[in-house]
Amino acid sequence: MRALDGRVAVVTGADEPLGRGLALALGDAGARLALVGDAGRLAPLTTELESRNGRAVAVEAVLDERAALERAFATAADELGGPVRIVVHAAVPAVAYERVAFEDVDDARWDAVWEGTMGAALAVLQASFTLLRAGGGRVVLVTPTVAMSGAAQLVPYAAAMEGQRLLAKSAARQWGPDGITVNCLAPAPEQVPIGVTSSEVSLAPPALGGPGDAETDLGPVVAFLASDDAHFLTGETLCADGGVWMAP
C-alpha cells in the first residue's frame, strides 16, 4: 500500500521540468493524476506515467478562470473515478521567468506576471475549495525560495511568488475547519528557469550538494505534503532546496 493509493491529484505546470518531476513522484506514490495544461505538451508525461502502471489524464483549462477550473477538476474526477483530494499548483505564466531590469518593466509586464500569477493562484485555490470542502484534502503551492530572498531583475516574479505564499497562509487559516490544508513547497531557484543560483542568496554552498532533482529529491516531499501523514501541517512553507535558505 502506497501513501497516495487511489487518490486523485490535480497538478498544474506539469509541462515544465519541475512540475513534471512532482507529478511523477505523486504517480509513484499511487495517485491518479489530472494534469492541467496543453494535452500535446503533456502527452510524453501521461505516457510515462502509464508505463509505470499509473493513471493520468490531461485536462485543458484557462488557469485564471475559476469556473473553467472547477469544470476541469470535475471532469478529471469522473475520468479517474474518484473525488479530487490533492491539488498541486506549480504553473506560472512563462513570461514570469524573464529576467528584466526594473526600469524596463512596464505596465503590461507587471500585469502579465503579477496579476497573471496571482489570478491563477486565486482561481486554483477557489476551485480547490469547491472540490475539497466536502471531504477535505491537500493543496500545495510551489513557491521557489526567491519568494523569500528576493532577486534583482525579477521584481514582479518575486512579488508574485511571495504573494502566492501568503495567499496559501490565509487559505490555510480560513479552510482549516473544512479539513483542507494548504502548504507551500519552496525549491531552490535553480529549479525554475529564472537564471538565479543559490549562491546569490547564501554564503555557503547547498548543504546537500545542489538544488536536487525534481522527481527524486523534491517529489517525495510533495508526496508527503499530499499524504495523510501531513494532516497536521498547514500554512507551512517547506524549503526543499538542499539546505540553502534555512530560514526561519
Partner 1 sequence: MRGRRRVDGAVSVDGPLAGRTAIVTGAGQGVGRGIAAALAHRGARVVVAARRAETGEPAAQEIRDWGGEARCIVTDITRAEDVERCVAGTVEEYGGLEIMVHNAFQGGRPHRLEDVDATLWATNSRTAVWGSYYSARFAAPHLRRAGTRGRLLLITSPAGVEGSVNIPVYAPVKAAQRAIAKSLAREWGPHGITVNCVAPVAETPALVGAFATNPVLKERLEARTALGRVGDAERDVGAVAAFLASDDASYVTGQTVVCDGGSFLGL
Q: Is 197 in the site for partner 1 (CB under 8 A)?
A: no
Q: What mask, x for binding partner 1 by CB under 8 A, covers residues 206 to 245?
A: -----------------------------x----------
Please select the residue that binds partner 1; options are 1, 101, 108, 203, rule is CB under 8 A. Answer: 101
The sign of the torsion formed by the CA atoms of 216, 217, 218, 221 equals positive
Nine-digit cell at 144?
Answer: 521557489
Three-state DSSP at 209 gives coil
Whether 20 contacts 214, CB under 8 Å = yes
Only one of the segments 38-46, 67-75, 83-91, 143-151 lies at the binding site for partner 1 (rule: CB under 8 A); that segment is 143-151
Q: Report how far residue 58's alpha carbon sits from residue 38's, in angstroms, rounded to the nearest whole number.
A: 7
Only one of the segments 11-19, 99-107, 205-213, 224-232 lies at the binding site for partner 1 (rule: CB under 8 A); that segment is 99-107
Please select the residue that binds partner 1; options are 114, 116, 142, 238, rule is CB under 8 A. Answer: 114
Q: Is 108 in the site for partner 1 (CB under 8 A)?
A: no
Please select the residue that binds partner 1; options are 8, 18, 29, 171, rule is CB under 8 A. Answer: 171
Q: How far is CA 110 from CA 13, 105, 153, in A?
A: 21, 7, 12
Q: Report how far residue 39's alpha carbon sits from residue 110's, in angstroms, rounded to the nearest whole number.
A: 28
Please select the residue that binds partner 1; options are 136, 169, 210, 233, rule is CB under 8 A. Answer: 169
Residue whose entry in the numeric block shows the C-alpha cell 515544465: 16
Least distance to partner 1 from the beta carbon of 67, Å?
Answer: 12
Q: Which residue type, as a one-letter code, is found at position 234?
A: T
Nearest to 31 by CA among 8, 57, 47: 8
Per CB under 8 A, residues contacting partner 1 are 101-103, 105, 107, 110, 114-115, 118-119, 122, 125-126, 129-130, 147-156, 158-175, 235, 248
